[in-house]
Structure 1
């Protein structure tokens, strides 16, 4: 029929553009759906905040402290570096609270073991011995003991000849009563140095005190703390 309008046929490029636009629209819609599912914008801020996981539990258990857990430190800051007395105990063997002090009784010699300790057995020329105390409560109950500088003594002797005593030039000694737990062992946090000289209360400030002979000479360290002396001395050799 001559009056019928014929539709214009589009080129293939037009159809390709239409299909591309439709595909992009589908992808945009799909991306929007995924975002809504993942982001969940309707959730409150409380849910958005990250949840903290449970705190890790500690497997550490409290046991009997070792020799170095509760030191009975020595004082090397007195006027005479060679003759300072041991300082007060700290850390675990600390000053007991009033209730603990009332519960624990004073330590008795039968329940306490005191040992003389040195950092070496032999010392070459120029090496100074480092001296310490080890204290152990071998009793079944906690007890209190004075570990202040007033109650500590280090003595170096050769035979019956006392060469050096820590209290000869001790400065401002003090008391400190601590509670020593049953089975607890403590030792010096910082050793006391013997400068290999002979001590005397009249020569504390002297720079030319007699020096202990070496050449393999034998000396013995004895210690006392809280009124309890070491059962045996510790032998050292000086060269």
Structure 2
């Protein structure tokens, strides 16, 4: 018995071409399927082209209520920041024998009408030379009157009558006797005033005695 096998018959070129075409068509089908899976026509890619982008504007911060300060009303007591107290003398230089006449001007620099006691009971006139205090109106004051005054903004109010200084040194224990005359001959003095507890340290009136 012969062991030689009959060699297979060689296929025709047409068969090989058909096989290659089938393989190529299969590869194309696989590629198309992969592309469709990734691109998904009408899906996410299309959505990203047609949908408006999400707003990136920051959210408005929560509204915070800020407490407002109480607004002063007409007729309220005056406050220090709205009152200017200015001492006034009738002259800047006094010759021998002339006695200074002292007054005060009060101005409301605020926005509302305010009330304070501007009577003589609430007024304190002080005269100093350098660091030494020579005279204070309350040392020997005999007539004290309270007078509540309504101050209109921007309208200065002045003393109705001047307080006359006799050019002597005052002290509570010298009210019933003779008092010492203060230095003159061109000596310089400063007048300051407080009214109802209000005063302005930077507002003093300078004058000279001869």
Which range, TM-score by smaller chain? 0.5 to 0.7
TM-aligned CA deviation for residue 103 of structure 1: 4.8
Q: Deviations over 1:200-229 (max 9, x none)?
A: 1111121x2110111110111000002111
Q: Note if 1:135 corresponds to 2:112.
A: no
Instruction: Identify which of 182, 195, 209 aligns with 1:225.
Output: 195
User: Aligned ranges for residues 31-110 of structure 1 at < 5 Å?
Assistant: 103-110=74-81
Which residue of 2 is the match for residue 13 of structure 1? none
Which residue of 2 is the match for residue 212 of structure 1? 182
User: Aligned ranges for residues 11-30 of structure 1 at < 5 Å?
Assistant: none
Distance 1:107 1:236 in 2: 30
Which residue of 1 is the match for residue 159 of structure 2? 188
Distance 1:194 1:188 in 2: 15
Q: Note if 1:166 corresponds to 2:114.
A: no
RMSD value, Cα: 1.4
Q: Deviations over 1:35-57 (max 9, x none)?
A: xxxxxxxxxxxxxxxxxxxxxxx
Q: Note if 1:121 corresponds to 2:92.
A: yes
Kindly indicate whether the alpha-carbon contact (under 8 Å) linking 2:74 and 2:112 is maintained by their aligned counterparts in 1.
Answer: no
Q: Deviations over 1:122-169 (max 9, x none)?
A: 000000011000000111110001112221000011111111100001
Distance 1:177 1:158, change over 3 A: same
Distance 2:173 2:192 in 1: 22
| 4+ residue runs over 6 A deviation | none
* TM-score, with length taken from structure 2: 0.62
Unaligned runs of 5+ in 2: 1-72
* TM-score, with length taken from structure 1: 0.55
Q: How many residues align?
A: 137
TM-aligned CA deviation for residue 183 of structure 1: 1.6
TM-aligned CA deviation for residue 175 of structure 1: 2.5
Distance 2:120 2:157 in 1: 16
Which residue of 2 is the match for residue 91 of structure 1? none
Computing the radius of gyration from Cα coordinates, the structure with the larger value is: 2
